[in-house]
Chain A
Amino acid sequence: MSESSRDRTKCELTFTVNGKSEIVRAHPMERLLDLLRHELGLTGTKEGCGEGECGSCSVLIDGLLVNSCLIPVLQADGASIVTIEGLAPDGRLQNLQQAFLECGAAQCGICTPGMILAAHYLLDKKPQPTLEEIREGLSGNLCRCTGYMQIIEAVAEAGRRGAAT
């Protein structure tokens, strides 16, 4: 298939990303992950496995935590999407991000955006989660560096400080 014939299969999609309206032309089955990274330049969302196992590509769609590698863009039409870039838009770190820094929760950093979104989602539902709830809530996000403990500590700390402020 040449470039031009591929273009003909594109459709127009409208959604909000980090509060900003976007209208893009994309193949309906293109992965949301690719659209965010390649079309919108939001490279904070990472690809680790491409099959929904590692959680590095986690984003929020209408408030739900999803793996953007498993979402065809058509499914995001009309939705409101939040990526890591949407959490500290003015450069001021959220308590959660600050806690990640202080507790040593980010080592190589590749799982960090997805991990922070998963933690953000958890804290949204349970502002003061127990350690067990944190372990469970982050179990869809793989980290190879930390052994998770300092991440769990950071999320608990953010809960104590009030995460979404």
Chain B
Amino acid sequence: MKNNPIVGASVPRLEGPGKVTGQARYVDDMVLPDMLYGATVRSRIPRGQIKKITFGQEIHWNEFVIVTSKDIPGTNCIALIEDDQPCLADGIVNHPEEPVLLLAHPDRHLLAKAADAVTLEYDPLPALFTMEESESLSQIIWGSDNTFKSYLIEKGDVDAAFESADHIVEGEYTTGAQEQLYIENNGMIAAFDPQHGLTVWGSLQCPYYVHKALMKLFGFPADRVRVVQMETGGAFGGKEEYPSMIAAHAALLAMKSGKPVKIIYDRMEDMTATTKRHPSRTRHRTAVSKDGKILGGEIDFTLDGGAYKTLSPVVLSRGAIHAGGAYYWPSVRIRAKAVATNAPPHGAFRGFGAPQSLFALERHMDRIAQVVGLSPVEIRRHNFLQPGQTTTTGQTINEEIDLPKLLDRALELSDYHAKKEKFSQEIQQGNIKKGIGIAAFLHGAGFTGSGERYLGSIVGVEACADGRVRILVSSTEFGQGTNTVLCQIAAEALGLRYEDVGIAQPDTQEVPNSGPTVASRTVMVVGKLVQSAAAGIRKTLTAAGMLSDSYSPEEFRAACSSYVAKHGQFRSFAQYEQPDDIVWDEEKYRGSAYAAFAWAVYVAEVAVDLATYSVTVEDFVALQEVGKVLHPVLAKGQIIGGVAQAIGFALYEKVIWEQGRMQNGQMTNYIMPTSADLPSIRVYFEELGNAHGAYGAKGIGELPMDGPAPAIVNAVEDALHVPFNSIPLLPEDIFDALAESAQVENALPAARGRQ
């Protein structure tokens, strides 16, 4: 048996060599014989009835394959939570860029011109573009009240809390849409064979989501649909649900033409037509005692879901549950709702609702601090959740998390107090103003509530005759390190070398459904199942007398060889079973929302340039408790990458909407951070373990998306003494706010005590 633990070591990334040599195969790198290229004709208006479709005369239409909703053999929907989103619009369109018609041709150069030559004529219908318009019910665009889903989370006596409060602090906070901006655009190839059915290869997170959608669309049984994930060039949630749509389109064209069809989106199509982070609005009204204790609160959390339901109910759920953050609320009433607008549906993006509600809360904590007259540090320290206390859903904190200590360490690492003092005392003359801000937060790992029980994920581990071990999961690699970490876990569980373990390509014909690769669940939940399936291999061999308790890789190989010779294929499976201590009441929205929370305190230092009004993050400390770090280099990479995306969310990335359509769907005018824009992001871990995760791990993928935006905006307020409650916070917003605040001061010179 090997001596050094594999779990906890930074082993080489499994698919790394292919990626650094250009040999890794992404979907656009794959070409099938006789393949056609597909394109999508989309609606240009936000809402209306399609009156007429005209095909321009300049195109040789007989060379093209044309698919409309009439060609759909099964149900015209993209099956997900509720089947309300059509695969191809049939008469009515509900958002700009809604797919209406599909084209395919052997020459991909001819497609754009052909798509432009298809004219859609409409009878336009009035459309809604903001949450407020949707709430006004001036038009009913979805269901009976434009509401996809609402939740009510209640704890304690909120009304009594307000009656006894010394302070009532109110605030409204908003966040904008954010594009995932994976560098590999969406793409899919489909092939149809009358005997075997459909196969699709693509860039995707969730093979079985695509599988389910295609079964419903084609009316096929499970064994006539095969979904294969290719190397995937970034996803971040953006390839959770929309790939089902693209797979559906490629598959319809493939079936009609009898040839393989490839659809690759260009950047603008990807940005304007596919999902983004839900815009949000959060209203806080908080009852606070004079010594700064939260007594109770009302939180109204609203998301703009776009035109169809898609994943909005679950994004809303996570946002609502995280709305109370890492604090103890003796009483709280959280009302959450996702409303319809005539924009493309918003969807999954790292954090999944939590970055929105936590931005609001962590800005609001600074506001409470000001009202009460405490520092941002003290207000948090006074209200942190402690072991034995309950969250807003009534979940008892059962681990020995010491948030005041975590906060102290983050303050020390960032030299917070000295900097705070320096920035406030320094007469900040000239054009640069500096500030420092903090955010403390948590992120629940795995599906919410009973979600994991419903998923019932299954994983397999196969031991081959040559002693090699192969993991069978539908969990996908798209940069985070799924392949590597799952192999580490299996190797550790079997006492093998990391090199002895491999992982099957996610292919629904080959691997069981280990659930979607989302919700920071893969290492924690799927990893734990890999651990137990691997243990099953070991137990079987030991029970058969083929292996002793302690063995070398050679002895393991010999045992596998004999086992396979005697019994044939040797596989061990494990299925998720909800632990007894995780109880969730879906009706009342009470109980254990997550099997584990990761905890964090982030500190951002910013400089605001009063010549350009731009904000630069100059230092960033990210301290988090994550259970157990299974791979230090990958874990650090997850945190830095998440912080970088969140800096973009806070300061750079603004979607410009007009009539429900994104106007800046290019990398030229939708700005994400470059290597020259980011500070050194300093990452620190604490490890408390976690009984529900593989080797004590908690999910960490989404956590770093939650805290940076409020920490940065808190720092900007610290620098300028002007509050900002909306992100993205662009230079023009700062200019406007400073101009307004200067006007107020000029008009009322004695009214404020700002230096």
Contacts and interface: CB of A to CB of B under 8 A. Distances in A.
Nearest to B234: A108
Interface in B230-254: 231-236
18 contacts: A37-B28, A49-B667, A101-B16, A104-B10, A104-B636, A106-B13, A108-B183, A109-B479, A112-B20, A135-B675, A138-B675, A142-B674, A144-B641, A147-B640, A149-B640, A149-B681, A151-B675, A152-B675
A157 to B, nearest CB: 12
A27 B25 CA distance: 27
Contacts of A100: 16, 20
B110 A146 contact: no
B672 A144 contact: yes
A111 to B, nearest CB: 5
B182 interface: yes
Most chain B beta carbons < 10 A, residue from A49, A143, A147: A147
Chain A contact-residue range equals: 35 or more
B179 to A, nearest CB: 10
A87 B639 CA distance: 30
Contacts of A53: 666-668
A55 B60 CA distance: 36
B234 A145 contact: yes
B17 interface: yes
Contact of A110 (B180, B182, B633, B640): B182
Contacts of A103: 633
Interface string B180-214: 11111100000000000000000000000000000
B678 interface: yes
6 nearest interchain CB pairs? A44-B22, A110-B233, A147-B644, A108-B479, A109-B19, A84-B22
B107 A150 contact: no
Most chain B beta carbons < 10 A, residue from A51, A54, A104: A104
Contacts of B17: 93, 101
Given A53-B667, A108-B479, A144-B181, A93 B676 contact: no
A112 B10 CA distance: 20
B74 interface: no
A88 to B, nearest CB: 5
Interface string A63-95: 000000000000000000001110110010100
Given A44-B23, A146-B640, A148-B678, A101 B183 contact: no
Contacts of B18: 109
Given A51-B267, A54-B667, A107-B481, 20 more contacts: A6-B109, A37-B29, A44-B21, A44-B23, A49-B267, A49-B666, A50-B267, A51-B667, A56-B183, A88-B21, A101-B20, A107-B480, A109-B231, A110-B26, A113-B22, A135-B676, A144-B182, A144-B236, A147-B643, A152-B675
A107 B637 contact: yes
A139 interface: yes
Contacts of B22: 42-45, 83-85, 113
A45 B232 CA distance: 15
B15 interface: yes
Contacts of A104: 10, 13, 633-634, 636-637
A47 B673 CA distance: 19
A129 interface: no
B266 interface: yes
Contact of A150 (B266, B636, B645): B636
B20 A142 contact: no
Contact of A108 (B185, B232, B676): B232
B666 A146 contact: no
B568 interface: no
A117 B110 CA distance: 32
Interface string B471-492: 0000000111100000000000
A97 interface: yes
Nearest to A43: B29
Contacts of B235: 108
B675 A48 contact: no
Interface of B: 10, 12-13, 15-26, 28-29, 60, 107, 109-110, 180-185, 231-236, 266-267, 478-481, 633-634, 636-637, 640-645, 666-668, 672-676, 678, 680-681
Contact of A50 (B181, B236, B266): B266
Most chain B beta carbons < 10 A, residue from A2, A142, A148: A148
A146 B644 contact: yes
A2 B113 CA distance: 13
B675 A139 contact: yes
Contacts of A142: 183, 667, 672, 674
Contacts of A51: 267, 666-668
Given A104-B636, A142-B183, A142-B674, A112 B19 contact: yes
A108 B667 contact: no
Contact of B110 (A1, A45, A140): A1
Contact of A54 (B15, B60, B183): B183
Contacts of B25: 43
Contact of A87 (B21, B110, B633): B21
A115 to B, nearest CB: 9
A88 B24 CA distance: 14
A87 B633 CA distance: 25
Contact of B182 (A108, A151, A152): A108
B60 A2 contact: yes
Contacts of B642: 147
Interface string A110-128: 1111001000000000000
B233 A108 contact: yes
B645 A144 contact: yes
A44 B109 CA distance: 21
B348 to A, nearest CB: 15
B642 to A, nearest CB: 8
Nearest to A27: B109
A145 to B, nearest CB: 5
Contact of B21 (A1, A97, A139, A151): A97
B629 to A, nearest CB: 13
Most chain B beta carbons < 10 A, residue from A50, A84, A141, A149: A149
A92 B574 CA distance: 39
B184 A48 contact: yes
A41 B667 CA distance: 26
B482 to A, nearest CB: 11
B641 A107 contact: yes
Nearest to B232: A108
A110 B267 CA distance: 14
A146 B637 CA distance: 6
Contacts of B233: 46, 108-111
Nearest to A117: B22
Interface in A3-21: 3, 6
B109 to A, nearest CB: 8
B13 A47 contact: no
A140 to B, nearest CB: 8
A107 B479 contact: yes
Contacts of A148: 644, 674-675, 678
A44 B29 CA distance: 8
B516 to A, nearest CB: 17
A108 to B, nearest CB: 3
B609 to A, nearest CB: 18
A109 B15 contact: yes
A69 to B, nearest CB: 10
